[in-house]
Structure 1
Amino acid sequence: MSTSAQTGTITTRVPARLDRLPWSRFHWRVVLGLGGVWVLDGLEVTMVGNVSARLTEKGSGIELDPAQIGVAAAIYITGACVGALFFGHLTDRFGRRNLFMLTLAVYLVATVATAFAFAPWYFFVARFFTGAGIGGEYAAINSAIDELIPARVRGRVDLIINGTYWLGSAAGAAGALVLLNTSNFPANVGWRFAFGIGAILGIFVLLVRRNVPESPRWLFIHGRDEEAERIVREIEDDVESSTGQPLPEPQGEPLKIRQRQSISLLEIAKVAFVLYPRRAVLGLALFIGQAFLYNGVTFNLGTLLSGFYAVPSGKVPLFFILWALSNFAGPLLLGKLFDTVGRKPMITATYIGSAVAVVALAVVFGTNTGGPWTFIAVLAVAFFVASAGASAAYLTVSEIFPMETRALAIAFFYAVGTAIGGISGPLLFGQLISSGQRDLVVWSFVIGAIVMAIAGLVELWLGVAAEQRPLEELALPLTVADAEEPGEPGGGATS
């Protein structure tokens, strides 16, 4: 299939050995060390929403207007898209572990720089590089998680990990509730400390992450099968030690793999759009739908509450906490159904169901029914459903493409889908909120509902039944196809 640098042909049972493992303390290390990125992302994205009202006030030390808050959000998302593509390619080429350490370092430096913002342009630059670090994390982290978590629980674990984004949101909002209180900190200081929270959490994640190994699946494809064997054996020993039970024999036939040190970007693009065009359409639809609605609301909720419900800037984080917790509850309570009822029916139901709830939200907002607490209550219901579907978008693209392209596939669909939905959403919401006209803002909710509903229909049409199936069954690795070409040597090492 390819003339990319090849090393040899091996037969491996590494995927089956990893998939048959019972849940253990090793998997908890993976969840804590790698899933922490979602906490950081939730903290960063909603931090701007939490402090946005303060940043528009005189005496804040920066004094942005509502439209610039939307611009800052769009710039952050642009950085995330660029970072996802750039670091995503490096992740597939140089390994999951190398990149999830590098991207976290980029994030830490940039988020500290944000705390020292003194002018809009500086704030925008710092937000771009913060987004780049987080975007790079998406590709490295999601690919590593899916390659280390057993197939039978991959769906619920992935959704819950992605859902921890909202724990970060709640933590950031709770911190902002204290830091934005002018009786505790001056108006031009508290919001700076708020961004410092992200750096503190990032250091904790970095410490835990040091104990997470490289993906054995990535290693054996890139000619490092002895290292892959060693890591899997160490994982197996650790699991047996923690559970006190012998491991069952791995199921299924071994994979015959032709190892390659690198795979070209052109070949990766062909895989997505020539070999799996229907899956490419599916990935784009899911990402565009959730990115438009989520980023539009998240980045502008603070200014919306202050401008239309007269909620003081210091009280805005309280509403964020309630909203964030409802978003985390969605994947937590619904996640298991994605492994039992199935991916296709659950993703369809969550996308279309959230669209219906957002229409109800538009009615509540447009008629000014019940004040801010009623608005937040309906918003919480809508996003309880939407959050499970949004998390499933990342799960979908991380498991339906071949292993050699996994990180860049995540990066590509995140970048393109988010560039279309995640940039246009905040800009549209920001501009309509700046108009001060309630009836115009209603249209932003209606458009968000329409985009989500369309994505749900695309899932109904093109969705893949990936529940409890090995990754290699969903999409055969490209190196397997190479190894099975006629006339090629077989045999080799077994790992």
Structure 2
Amino acid sequence: MVRTAVPARLDQLPWARFHRLVVVGLGAVWILDGLEVTMIGAVGPRLTEADSGIALSAAGIGRAAAVYVLGSCLGALFFGQLTDRFGRRRLFLVTLGVYIVATTAAAFSWTPWFFFLCRFVTGAGIGGEYAAINSAVDELIPARVRGRVDLLINGSYWLGSAGGAGLAVLLLSESLFAVDVGWRLSFGLGASLGLLILVVRRNVPESPRWLIIHGRGAEAERIVAGVEDAAARETGAPLPPPAGWIEIRPREKVGLGAVVTAIARTHRSRAALGLALFVGQAFLYNAVTFDLGTLLSTFYGVDSSSVPVFFVVYALGNCAGPLVLGRLFDTVGRRPMIASSYLAAAVLAAALGVLVHAGLLGAWTFLSGVVVMFFFASAGASAAYLTVSEIFPMETRALAIAFFYAAGTAIGGITGPLLFGRLIETGRTGPVMVGFLVGAGAMALGGVAELALGVEAAGRSLEDIASPLTAVDQQRATPDGRGRDAESDRDACG
């Protein structure tokens, strides 16, 4: 057995250059994902043209999107369990490498089947990133700011999305690029950004928490001591003594059966919470995002060439939610902020559906309503990733993120666009209102689940929120300095 204060030392570190390196090196992948999805979606129509060099059908564009989503779900599950077994650092280098190779290969596609294959592997790399990155970030960032940092990183997806929409306008300009060149450059830009991220990411160390649990305590101590020395020099102030310790029985690997049991049986109420949060946000997000252009053109007469402009505004609104509200998830608390974000988005979605049906909106007023709705929904959706990465034991963290991402996308992320697409095809606002009401119900379910099952994790050590499977005993400091067993201080709803 090993007694260590490494988790407490990580949580009490002052904000320093090391944390900025983590945010840039690991968090930038969300910008990459937003850039990838939006830009490829915007240049999709170009691929259907005869002289594009690949000549996909309109149905082929839909299949390419479906293949990408399928790859991301399966990649999350596959790489998620490997991340828990072989380490965060090894996998966040591998998954980014998979993305770079696959998206570069896509630029040289000459036939639909090869393009589909490349999109599947690209999605697998991005899905694997979700599991590896979120687990690593939460284990390296101090507890007092973990919420706002996580929301900022997850919300940066929409910064990449806005950039992708803007770049699509440039790449589709036939006065600048030939028809069979511009779309290929879009993949090249993604790969180039991925290479820059990889260079920075090589300097991010393995999670000391993962190292301790897997019997590599000396390496964990060396990493934490180096970070502490650098932070002390940077701030010019000595660091306080550790505020707690944990005693564990290290294992080289934890069986998949023990991991699944911890998620599905030991923490089944938390599993129900994670599923409700992910299904709700995936349904509303995918339904509106994939069908936004169709909604604008069908009911408001917006020309397809102008849709990217609307999408830039939409994406920036989504980015603003986590940026503005993120701090409150650490100060006000997880439970009230997540519940209120989901419920506010639900109310606004229902109101927007009614206004659309009543014919009271124009193109820009409709977009304004969508932006306000997703200002709250974006913060809630980012907090869903934060939640499932906090409330399960250390050994299950990456797989838990992967499972809920895959399940939420499979249930809500697929049914949402399919339902909205069918409703929009009717050409009538009544069915579209029903679609918004269904989306509102899905978000409301997530908000109610948070109120009933939510775990207050703001400012708390990850080991206090969910004791590791390998833990024997742990203690953290109390205001009187005497310390107490974290096991005897479980969250009431845990």
TM-score (norm 1): 0.91
User: 1:54 deviation in Å?
Assistant: 4.2
Q: Which residue does the alignment assign to 1:115?
A: 107
- Partner-residue secondary structure (3-state), 2:404: helix
The answer as to whether partners of 1:287 and 1:413 remain within 8 angstroms in 2 is yes
User: 1:130 deviation in Å?
Assistant: 1.2
The structure-2 alpha-carbon separation of the partners of 1:448 and 1:94, relative to structure 1 and needing over 3 Å to count, comes to same
Q: Which residue does the alignment assign to 2:386?
A: 395
The structure-2 alpha-carbon separation of the partners of 1:60 and 1:351, relative to structure 1 and needing over 3 Å to count, comes to farther
- Partner-residue secondary structure (3-state), 1:333: helix
Q: Which residue does the alignment assign to 1:32?
A: 24
Q: Could you report, residue by residue, the CA deviation over 1:363-416 in whole angstroms, capped at 9, with x for unpaired residues?
A: 344445443222211111111110000000000000001111111111111111
CA distance in structure 1 between the aligned counterparts of 2:253 and 2:460, rounded to whole angstroms? 27
Stretch deviating more after TM superposition (437-446 or 172-181):
437-446
CA distance in structure 2 between the aligned counterparts of 1:324 and 1:176, rounded to whole angstroms? 14
Residue identity matched to 1:194? S
CA distance in structure 1 between the aligned counterparts of 2:174 and 2:355, rounded to whole angstroms? 32
The answer as to whether partners of 1:107 and 1:129 remain within 8 angstroms in 2 is yes
Q: Which residue does the alignment assign to 1:84?
A: 76
Q: Say whether 1:148 aligns with 2:137.
A: no
The structure-2 alpha-carbon separation of the partners of 1:296 and 1:186, relative to structure 1 and needing over 3 Å to count, comes to farther
Q: Which residue does the alignment assign to 2:435?
A: 444
The structure-2 alpha-carbon separation of the partners of 1:195 and 1:311, relative to structure 1 and needing over 3 Å to count, comes to farther
Q: Which residue does the alignment assign to 2:403?
A: 412
% identical equivalent positions: 63
Q: Which residue does the alignment assign to 1:480?
A: 471
- Partner-residue secondary structure (3-state), 1:255: strand
The structure-2 alpha-carbon separation of the partners of 1:451 and 1:123, relative to structure 1 and needing over 3 Å to count, comes to farther
- Partner-residue secondary structure (3-state), 2:305: coil
User: 1:50 deviation in Å?
Assistant: 2.4
Q: Which residue does the alignment assign to 1:323?
A: 314
The answer as to whether partners of 1:54 and 1:313 remain within 8 angstroms in 2 is no
**Higher relative CO (CA 8 A, sep ≥ 6), structure 1 or 2?**
1
User: 1:209 deviation in Å?
Assistant: 0.3
User: 1:238 deviation in Å?
Assistant: 1.3
Q: Could you report, residue by residue, the CA deviation over 1:73-122 in whole angstroms, capped at 9, with x for unpaired residues?
A: 33222111100110011101110000000000111122223334445444
Residue identity matched to 1:10? V
The structure-2 alpha-carbon separation of the partners of 1:431 and 1:127, relative to structure 1 and needing over 3 Å to count, comes to farther
Stretch deviating more after TM superposition (114-123 or 388-397):
114-123
Count of residues paired in the alignment: 475
Q: Which residue does the alignment assign to 2:486?
A: none
Which of 336, 339, 349 matches 1:348?
339
User: 1:428 deviation in Å?
Assistant: 2.9
The answer as to whether partners of 1:74 and 1:426 remain within 8 angstroms in 2 is no
Which of 260, 269, 285 matches 2:251?
260
Which of 265, 279, 302 matches 2:293?
302
- Partner-residue secondary structure (3-state), 1:97: helix
Q: Which residue does the alignment assign to 1:218?
A: 210
> 5+ residue gaps in structure 1?
1-8, 485-495
The structure-2 alpha-carbon separation of the partners of 1:87 and 1:217, relative to structure 1 and needing over 3 Å to count, comes to same
Q: Which residue does the alignment assign to 2:222?
A: 230
**Equivalent residues in 2 for 1:66-465 (5 A)?**
68-252=60-244, 254-434=245-425, 436-465=427-456
CA distance in structure 2 between the aligned counterparts of 1:432 and 1:54, rounded to whole angstroms? 26
CA distance in structure 2 between the aligned counterparts of 1:62 and 1:433, rounded to whole angstroms? 29
Q: Which residue does the alignment assign to 1:4?
A: none
The answer as to whether partners of 1:330 and 1:384 remain within 8 angstroms in 2 is yes
CA distance in structure 1 between the aligned counterparts of 2:156 and 2:403, rounded to whole angstroms? 22
Q: Which residue does the alignment assign to 1:23?
A: 15
- Partner-residue secondary structure (3-state), 1:189: helix
Q: Say whether 1:14 aligns with 2:2.
A: no
The answer as to whether partners of 2:92 and 2:133 remain within 8 angstroms in 1 is yes
- Partner-residue secondary structure (3-state), 2:34: helix
Stretch deviating more after TM superposition (302-311 or 287-296):
302-311
Residue identity matched to 1:171? G
CA distance in structure 2 between the aligned counterparts of 1:355 and 1:422, rounded to whole angstroms? 17
Q: Could you report, residue by residue, the CA deviation over 1:429-482 in whole angstroms, capped at 9, with x for unpaired residues?
A: 344445555544443333222111111111111111111010010001111149
CA distance in structure 2 between the aligned counterparts of 1:216 and 1:167, rounded to whole angstroms? 30
CA distance in structure 2 between the aligned counterparts of 1:65 and 1:35, rounded to whole angstroms? 35
The answer as to whether partners of 1:402 and 1:472 remain within 8 angstroms in 2 is yes
The structure-2 alpha-carbon separation of the partners of 1:371 and 1:451, relative to structure 1 and needing over 3 Å to count, comes to same
CA distance in structure 2 between the aligned counterparts of 1:370 and 1:52, rounded to whole angstroms? 29
CA distance in structure 1 between the aligned counterparts of 2:55 and 2:346, rounded to whole angstroms? 35
Stretch deviating more after TM superposition (254-263 or 237-246):
237-246
CA distance in structure 1 between the aligned counterparts of 2:205 and 2:124, rounded to whole angstroms? 23
CA distance in structure 1 between the aligned counterparts of 2:119 and 2:355, rounded to whole angstroms? 33
The structure-2 alpha-carbon separation of the partners of 1:308 and 1:130, relative to structure 1 and needing over 3 Å to count, comes to farther
- Partner-residue secondary structure (3-state), 1:212: coil
User: 1:182 deviation in Å?
Assistant: 2.9
The answer as to whether partners of 2:39 and 2:167 remain within 8 angstroms in 1 is no
CA distance in structure 2 between the aligned counterparts of 1:360 and 1:184, rounded to whole angstroms? 43
- Partner-residue secondary structure (3-state), 1:256: strand
The answer as to whether partners of 1:48 and 1:299 remain within 8 angstroms in 2 is no
The answer as to whether partners of 1:78 and 1:423 remain within 8 angstroms in 2 is no
User: What CA RMSD, in Å, does the superposition of the two structures yield over aligned residues?
Assistant: 2.2
The structure-2 alpha-carbon separation of the partners of 1:483 and 1:27, relative to structure 1 and needing over 3 Å to count, comes to closer
TM-score (norm 2): 0.91
Residue identity matched to 2:137? I
- Partner-residue secondary structure (3-state), 2:249: strand
Residue identity matched to 2:9? R
The answer as to whether partners of 1:51 and 1:191 remain within 8 angstroms in 2 is yes
The structure-2 alpha-carbon separation of the partners of 1:44 and 1:333, relative to structure 1 and needing over 3 Å to count, comes to same
The answer as to whether partners of 1:73 and 1:299 remain within 8 angstroms in 2 is no
The structure-2 alpha-carbon separation of the partners of 1:296 and 1:62, relative to structure 1 and needing over 3 Å to count, comes to farther
CA distance in structure 1 between the aligned counterparts of 2:53 and 2:425, rounded to whole angstroms? 21
- Partner-residue secondary structure (3-state), 1:465: coil
